[in-house]
């Protein structure tokens, strides 16, 4: 059965701290404006679309979904 509706309480939409078990949805910005590096021992994930206005060095893995 396909998911037709998802309701998430506003209290679960909090990006003021790192993701934990109680924070189901992680909100992301859409613009990268500061240079950063994903080290070889790190993975990164972003939800697109993304505008890249700075240098991102990817030595590990970066997935954009």
First to last CA, the chain: 22
Q: How far apart are CA 36 and CA 58, in angstroms?
A: 9
Average pLDDT over every residue of 52-64 = 92
* pLDDT at res. 1: 47
Give the total number of structural domains in the chain. 1
Q: How confident is the model at residue 58 (pLDDT cuts 50, 70, 90)?
A: very high
For 38-50, the pLDDT digits (tens) are: 999 999 988 888 9
Domain that holds residue 40: 27-65
Is residue 1 in some structural domain?
no
Is residue 43 in some structural domain?
yes
Average pLDDT over every residue of 17-40 = 79
Closest of 28, 15, 23 to residue 64, by C-alpha: 28
Q: How confident is the model at residue 13 (pLDDT cuts 50, 70, 90)?
A: low
**DSSP codes joined into one string, the chain:** ---------GGGB--SS---TT--B----SEE-S-EEE-TT-EEEE-S--EE-S-EEESSEEEE-
């Amino acid at each position: 059965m396909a998911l037709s509706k998802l309701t998430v309480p506003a209290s679960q939409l909090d990006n003021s701290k790192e993701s934990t078990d109680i924070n189901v949805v992680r909100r992301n910005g859409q613009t990268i404006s500061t240079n950063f590096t994903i080290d070889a021992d790190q993975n990164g994930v972003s939800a697109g679309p993304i505008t890249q206005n700075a240098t991102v060095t990817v030595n590990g893995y970066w997935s954009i979904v």
